[in-house]
Structure 1
């Protein structure tokens, strides 16, 4: 729109402009011309519009006569005669009655007048119509232009009218008239026209449109609409309209409005071409020309001719130079497919199966046709579908599940097929689980368990362990523990892999149920037995999972030393696992990474998680992908990488859309809440925290506690200390800190200290600070930080020492965000002790570190503290005078030095050499009277605080 408005302005100044708008059908070309029409009409320009159409291709100059006719017909006879006085124009506008059809002038024109003179006459006519106010000639669907119109348009592009004329043409580039397309391309190359190439909407832009069209549709629904539309705004709009009207926007059944539009394109095809298109739609994408011939019952030559016609109309597109094609858009294929009668579709799929089988086609290629043609009892079909599902499992678990469901439906009922049915159910459960359909996965497992003989303990143990894994993901931990206990009491081989998996589920579900980990359960040795058994089995992946589960139980219970030893063993082993073993034991990676985060080893956690994420995504494991992203967000936040944490949290929320179970939703919202809070979006963080607590309410397990604590943190950063205390009380109740999970006790105590101090209750704050033992290594940083904050008001010197201890502890653990907070607390203590210079230096260090972390909320606090310090010390004007002597480039270098960049980074940023940066920096040193980069940063920092005071009226 900005480019078009600029063109309208140029025309208003007396210039001519030509604009070419190109894009696929429905991409927005016509809408853009409509906006241009409104813009030009508002500028008092004469606006003429024309539209090409297939019926008009046989009428000479139809594109232009459509545009000009209405305008000329509305003029008085005398004015119309004046404009059409040139006899060369008579053939095109004879129907207006300006020149008699049989007059000598018309005969002479028809027989003798050169086309170039005619084109020049039209060019002069447009100039006369433009007059003083200008003319906008807007031509849509130019790809349907008749040959004469195409030649005339090409002439006008090469030789634009002399007056203020705006010529805008819109067309589909793949269907454009060849001669006109060449002319337009050449004109664009020489700058004679401006090209606006419209592409699909991005997901963000589509969301913006859908929020206005269908505000009631959630994120998952909008994502489905976007996928169905391919980002095409017209398709998106009509599919959203169908959804608004209560009709589903299914991929294989677009709404009537869209179907009618596309069906019009199909009805214009020759019968053989339509038959080829329908056969191609049956085969799916991409399709092979030779297979199309067999399915359509046409000769190869006929199919080649059909492909030429379909490609010319841009209904299909060739893939490179191969014999394979795809439809222009998936919706075009679906409409073409639905245009075939039900019986015709079945017959076509049958022919497709026969053709593929004769060619030795794969199970995946045959499965879409087999599932539409096979009948109950067809065991060959069930074999094809099962094999295809196995091949598709990693790529598309949902499709694999669909084929397995069809195979189960086709499988005969006699008892001899019972084992086959159970095998298919197990594979169906796996496909559902990978695709995030956990409820359906559990249902398939329940059916499979019912088919196990009572004396087959090994099989039953395996299936119960698999079901326990699903119910754990659904958040039904207490129920899972009970079911596992029942199974373990029945007796089975203790050293089997399935028995180990069952014990791991018992351990982890007990932890997540909020029971205080399995050490306080009736059977405290389950985790130890699982570790020993996995080691004896020699299953390295299972052994890593057992170690991780045991470590999780220890760390949640507060046994950090024991957990650290287990994590060290598991971490070393997981790095040596083959990818196939890691992919099978992603649960173990999740548990191990959580332990690493809580033990201050987040760098190792990030390495493990990023590797596991690649494997989870490549194998279509949506639930595991979501869980890994949640832990990654926590690890990045622990390392002080707030933007990376927010990115992972947002990805987790997106990946978790549509997943069942309240706990998975709680996890994603928890991660999102914490990342948003530290990024500075505290209002959104509070909303996410509230949503997390609501989602966690039914289970009230470990994640319920963590959700409330995340909400408390968000409320405190949002400036609501009372709300933070209330959120913490929801967890602790009357039990005090003992009611908080051990992994969160140190952070919670320090958080409440901050909240109580903000509420003006130092005694209460000191009570919480005393609950942290500085001698405990894993809580020493938080203990020192809590004491520093409380003592700032009564003993600032001691507070500064505690703050420095906290910073040292957090820095040693790589927890940069917490180290930045410790620096802020230390600066406040130094200021309270009257040590302004040291406070200023500490504030500067804190601001730099927090900026590197991307912690916007804490950066604002650091800047506010710097302003407060400047007010208290009334910073002298010398630094400002010194900076005033710097040139603009020298000031840029000084600012970049202050932000911590090296000479090489500054050179890359400014696009100069390293030596140039060194020369600038030498002059900065001389003018400021300093001798180091740190001194430059100090001068700039003091200047910023002073400028801040001036802006506040100090």
Structure 2
């Protein structure tokens, strides 16, 4: 393979093999690494040429050390031009489906809701998929170590799914540079299908390069010296050679002395010397290009340099002949080292002038506000209120995207400008919110308090007071938080006061273990009497419903009434901000109160909104509600599928409180559902993943210990270990001061304690839960508590207690729990010699367990029937019963009429994953078409 590259054939061959595989349909990630100047960019260029020969579409981007704060800057470079050049019809096709969410990153669609947890990365993935539908696609990102955090996160999201597409993702990463987010770059490296390291040239390689440059006229001693001073770095070697071409002494001794002075710092100096030899227009163009950044249009650079756009060819050609820039569609330096050298040499005053000119030029071109602000932040304050306004707008977008440091820098600069008096509160609020999210609580309190002193308009005042209350709470200053919320509520009055009173109640609901404000209960009772006619009333009703649900003395019928008023016939789900978990709290109350049909209706609406907006948080909440409802009904396969989706989504939220709590609960409930089906190895895998996260040691993930306890008790028969885990879960709930009705830890812990020999404590916990469940009044939870009390108590009382449990459970939707109670009752009846009644009871248990796909429970019921001398039919878990949780979920969605692409977009998976699940489903069900799915699924 002859390419003109020196000592790079092996790397090129490895990369070409991966390219061929991607073109054939098996996409992948190639990482090309090397120190600055070793030739990774040249290797990527060669690979790009090879890809073009294979008729692959090429999209390119390049990171820049001066553009790290431009959110989704890499994504914009990749796709913005392609979308701009597309016809309206083609653009609609490329942005169809979930891909429309990409507009928040690469477009200016104001209708796209965007936040750190909205699926913009999901949208960008589907934009890539839509582009790939036209043919093989190669995405080339050089200097990826300088990718902004949002773009790096997208690249990782894509890399984990690219194997299902005809897409090769090629990343050039410069070694020895500190990325914006080292963790993301580390994960990208780890995700690579192949990594190619571009080393410095050997002595032979340096000789080959230099002999080509000097046509064999450079003495061997000089070649050796050039290799030594450059370290074999091709870029530095080329710079040394360039200096010698223009000023090489004729005497060999003098030549060697000259070479020895050309150390890397001198090479950088030589760049500036070459620039200094050029005319003013070329120098001004180079300075403007250094300020504009990689890939800037010549029109933009000309505007910055105050040159005629039609007269830039001359300066650009002059720079190219000097070896400083390279020819192409856009203006580029030959290497980032050149740009750095040129930029650093510009005087501070001149640099600010150029950045100001860049901001004006970009504004004239209607560029995204972030790009304009990137330059404005590098200028000194001049009292221009318009500058402050632009910086604030860019900061708000950065804050929404999770770019906290960028937002803070922009807002501080806006504050220094300074802003117009009418804009000052908003700037202070933005700074306060950024500091709060960054953990700088004292600074947050300072900015937010000052903003409230300025008495901002109501909407901003509510936002400010809520943030200030949160900041005070984070410092443990609960009374100050209550006072700030109350004081601002009284000042504003009306709907704003109700909104802030609801925030006070929300805070009071979660600190009940430390203090109970004297006004809390009355305030929440007042909320419960509201009709739910406005968003503020509905939010207040959510707090009232949660209060009733989490209170030990709460009643389910009252909670249901409040929850329905809060929901407002769908109004609550529609009006809550995207990604707000509060939108799912009222449906969760319905699940806890066992109004499962109503909860399911709300889950469908929440799921639809999550899919439309690409909201990870809302899809997570919808999956939890669906999973808990399915688990309660005994639909174990559906429950496991829901919790599998929830776990995957929760993991994408990282170290956020919502993410951590969701990971822990998803692990626990998924393990419960899997073990209920007898899928021991699948449950073991889930727990191994939790252990890899150190979930069983970290307090914020303590809820995952309940999942491990299920496994310890049911599989490993470690009653002591299971009891310890269940009790740790319970202690966390008690410390939080609430009754977690979706996780009855006392019911779980009591059998483990009894098995460990701690009978008195087991009975005490069972009695406690029975009292709580009796007051709550929901029949499923009551029957469950009654069953456990019978199991751990006096065997002489078991039959009567279990009969009560069965009666309660028959009035509920808890079919699996009913099957368990019937099994326990059948055992008690058999021991009491009531064989006929025992047999009918056990047969009903076995039938219900089979409908729930609860293989272990079926086996237990059969074993009891066998002891009675019966010969029960063997329930064969085949067909639908044999489907995995994920296969079941995909099959249900396909049976409902959704196409493969729709399913993939809704579940945040790849289309290939959906195809794989359906292929396996067809095989297990012995069908050949998705048209047969509805009938097969209805049969169970």
Quickly name the TM-score band, shorter chain normalised. Answer: 0.5 to 0.7
Matched, 1:342 2:344: yes
Deviation at 1:557, TM superposition (A): 1.0
In structure 1, distance between residues paired with 2:640 and 2:231: 44
- 1:384-418 superposed Cα distances (whole Å, 9 cap, x missing partner): 21233345554565444442232124438xxxx66
In structure 2, distance between residues paired with 1:862 and 1:471: 51
- Matched with 2:443 is 443
Alignment partner for residue 552 of structure 1, among 546, 549, 557? Answer: 546
Count of aligned pairs between the two proteins: 673
In structure 1, distance between residues paired with 2:477 and 2:448: 19
Deviation at 1:556, TM superposition (A): 1.0
Secondary structure at 1:569 match in 2 = helix
- Matched with 1:562 is 558
- Matched with 1:291 is 300
- Matched with 1:467 is 468
- Matched with 1:422 is 425
- 1:227-272 superposed Cα distances (whole Å, 9 cap, x missing partner): 699968548999xxxxxxxxxxxxxxxxxx9997899999999999
Aligned CA RMSD, in angstroms, stands at 6.6
* Structure-to-structure mapping, 1:290-439, within 5 angstroms: 290-295=299-304, 338=340, 340-344=342-346, 349-359=355-365, 361=367, 363-375=369-381, 377-390=383-396, 394=400, 398=404, 399-411=406-418, 420-430=423-433, 437=437, 439=439
- Matched with 2:755 is 758
Deviation at 1:672, TM superposition (A): 3.6
- Matched with 1:606 is 603
Does the C-alpha gap of structure 1 residues 623 and 482 become closer, same or farther in structure 2, counting only changes over 3 Å?
Answer: farther
- Matched with 2:245 is none
- Matched with 1:510 is 508
In structure 1, distance between residues paired with 2:472 and 2:612: 23
Deviation at 1:551, TM superposition (A): 1.1
In structure 2, distance between residues paired with 1:708 and 1:915: 42
- 1:331-360 superposed Cα distances (whole Å, 9 cap, x missing partner): 999777546422556565344224234445
Deviation at 1:282, TM superposition (A): 5.1
- 1:867-886 superposed Cα distances (whole Å, 9 cap, x missing partner): 85698589989999xx9xxx
In structure 1, distance between residues paired with 2:670 and 2:289: 48
Alignment partner for residue 184 of structure 2, among 205, 208, 223? Answer: 223
Alignment partner for residue 786 of structure 1, among 785, 788, 795? Answer: 788
Alignment partner for residue 576 of structure 1, among 571, 575, 579? Answer: 571
- 1:481-525 superposed Cα distances (whole Å, 9 cap, x missing partner): 55314764799348334432332232122221243996x845522
- Matched with 1:675 is 670
Does the C-alpha gap of structure 1 residues 543 and 233 become closer, same or farther in structure 2, counting only changes over 3 Å?
Answer: farther
In structure 1, distance between residues paired with 2:288 and 2:355: 9
Does the C-alpha gap of structure 1 residues 440 and 675 become closer, same or farther in structure 2, counting only changes over 3 Å?
Answer: farther
* Structure-to-structure mapping, 1:406-805, within 5 angstroms: 406-411=413-418, 420-430=423-433, 437=437, 439-440=439-440, 443-450=443-450, 452-453=452-453, 463-470=464-471, 474=474, 479-485=477-483, 488=486, 492-493=490-491, 495-515=493-513, 521=518, 523-529=520-526, 540-558=534-552, 559=554, 560-573=556-569, 575-576=570-571, 579=574, 581-583=575-577, 586=580, 588-600=582-594, 601=596, 602-604=599-601, 606-607=603-604, 609-610=606-607, 613=610, 640=636, 641-657=639-655, 659=656, 665-666=660-661, 668-676=663-671, 678-679=673-674, 680-681=683-684, 683-684=687-688, 687=691, 691=695, 694-696=698-700, 715-717=712-714, 719=716, 720-727=718-725, 729=727, 741-744=738-741, 747-759=744-756, 765-766=762-763, 768-771=765-768, 772=770, 776-778=777-779, 779-787=781-789, 789-790=791-792, 801=803, 804-805=806-807
Does the C-alpha gap of structure 1 residues 258 and 634 become closer, same or farther in structure 2, counting only changes over 3 Å?
Answer: farther
In structure 1, distance between residues paired with 2:10 and 2:561: 59
Contact 2:550 2:740 in 1 (8 A): yes
Secondary structure at 1:648 match in 2 = helix
In structure 2, distance between residues paired with 1:678 and 1:654: 22
- 1:730-777 superposed Cα distances (whole Å, 9 cap, x missing partner): 5878x9999984444982332133213433566765554444158533
Deviation at 1:549, TM superposition (A): 0.7
Deviation at 1:786, TM superposition (A): 1.8
Deviation at 1:866, TM superposition (A): 7.2
Secondary structure at 2:546 match in 1 = helix
- Matched with 2:265 is none
Contact 2:754 2:762 in 1 (8 A): yes
Larger radius of gyration between Structure 1 and Structure 2: 1
In structure 2, distance between residues paired with 1:406 and 1:220: 23
Contact 2:720 2:752 in 1 (8 A): yes
Does the C-alpha gap of structure 1 residues 632 and 513 become closer, same or farther in structure 2, counting only changes over 3 Å?
Answer: farther
> Which one has more relative contact order, counting CA pairs under 8 Å at least 6 apart?
2
In structure 1, distance between residues paired with 2:179 and 2:755: 38
Contact 2:399 2:434 in 1 (8 A): yes
Deviation at 1:712, TM superposition (A): 5.3
In structure 2, distance between residues paired with 1:912 and 1:316: 57
In structure 1, distance between residues paired with 2:331 and 2:503: 47
Does the C-alpha gap of structure 1 residues 554 and 347 become closer, same or farther in structure 2, counting only changes over 3 Å?
Answer: same
TM-score by length of 1: 0.54
Deviation at 1:791, TM superposition (A): 7.9
Deviation at 1:175, TM superposition (A): 1.8
Deviation at 1:544, TM superposition (A): 1.2
Does the C-alpha gap of structure 1 residues 893 and 464 become closer, same or farther in structure 2, counting only changes over 3 Å?
Answer: closer
Unaligned 5+ segments in structure 1 are 1-17, 36-139, 145-169, 184-194, 208-213, 239-256, 697-702, 851-857, 884-890, 922-932, 938-954
Deviation at 1:566, TM superposition (A): 0.8
In structure 2, distance between residues paired with 1:259 and 1:391: 45
Matched, 1:846 2:849: yes
Deviation at 1:655, TM superposition (A): 0.6
Contact 1:836 1:873 in 2 (8 A): yes
In structure 2, distance between residues paired with 1:629 and 1:743: 18
- 1:195-227 superposed Cα distances (whole Å, 9 cap, x missing partner): 9999998655999xxxxxx9xx99985335446
Secondary structure at 2:744 match in 1 = helix
Secondary structure at 2:468 match in 1 = helix
In structure 2, distance between residues paired with 1:461 and 1:495: 11
Contact 2:587 2:602 in 1 (8 A): yes
Secondary structure at 1:647 match in 2 = helix
Contact 2:826 2:841 in 1 (8 A): yes
Does the C-alpha gap of structure 1 residues 369 and 741 become closer, same or farther in structure 2, counting only changes over 3 Å?
Answer: closer
Contact 2:445 2:471 in 1 (8 A): no
In structure 1, distance between residues paired with 2:652 and 2:179: 12
Deviation at 1:368, TM superposition (A): 1.5
TM-score by length of 2: 0.55
Secondary structure at 1:583 match in 2 = coil
In structure 2, distance between residues paired with 1:418 and 1:175: 56
Contact 1:769 1:783 in 2 (8 A): yes
In structure 2, distance between residues paired with 1:176 and 1:756: 67
In structure 2, distance between residues paired with 1:745 and 1:606: 16
- 1:766-805 superposed Cα distances (whole Å, 9 cap, x missing partner): 5544441585335323134325645896688768756654
Deviation at 1:424, TM superposition (A): 0.5
In structure 2, distance between residues paired with 1:801 and 1:511: 37
Contact 1:556 1:742 in 2 (8 A): yes
Secondary structure at 2:571 match in 1 = coil
